Amino acid sequence: MHLPELWGEGCPSAGRSLLFNHMPQMRGKNDEGIEMLETQSFLQKETSQLRAVSYIFAVLSYLQDEPLCGRCSSFAKVFEKSMEKFLVIEKALGGNRNRPEETRVLFSGIYGVLSGLKLPDNPVRQKKEGNCGFPAGICLAKNALAMYEQIEEQR
């Protein structure tokens, strides 16, 4: 089940915990403050993840014109995984009508990069083919995604 289904589309308190939403008898005088803090925490987390996804797409935008990376199967796989992550974040933040300026700028930048991104028609496993000169375990596209995953784990 997705978060918007649990909280309802466009719910202004989408950052509240499920326990808080389903335990009305426990609500007290300070609930508004708690709700605001939980919503802020949710927005901070999603904004951090959005910044990291923006970085990945910027790296992919640069790599698309690189002779080997832009035609690599890892490039295509990182794009697919990053796009999945971006769509989850976009959906989570989509119901928030009062997005901060920072978030709007990030979305605008990501949409701009995505509109110019070209995926390889027939990606090649550059390392396996012996074309990539980087040592084992080093991949520019995968390293950008790994950074995002580290941020995701720490949240």
Tell me if 12 sits within 8 A of 118, measured CB to CB.
Answer: no
Please write the tens of the pLDDT for every residue from 42-95: 677 788 889 999 999 999 999 999 999 999 999 999 999 999 999 998 888 775
Global model pTM greater than 0.85: no
Q: Which residue has the higher pLDDT, 152 or 13?
A: 152
At 52, which amino acid appears? A
85's tokens = 């992550």
- Say yes or no to pLDDT of 2 above 80: no
- The separation between CA 131 and the C-alpha centre of its own chain, rounded to angstroms, equals 30
pLDDT confidence bin for 40, thresholds 50/70/90? low
pLDDT 10s digits, 94-148: 755 667 788 888 999 999 999 999 999 999 999 999 999 999 889 999 999 999 8
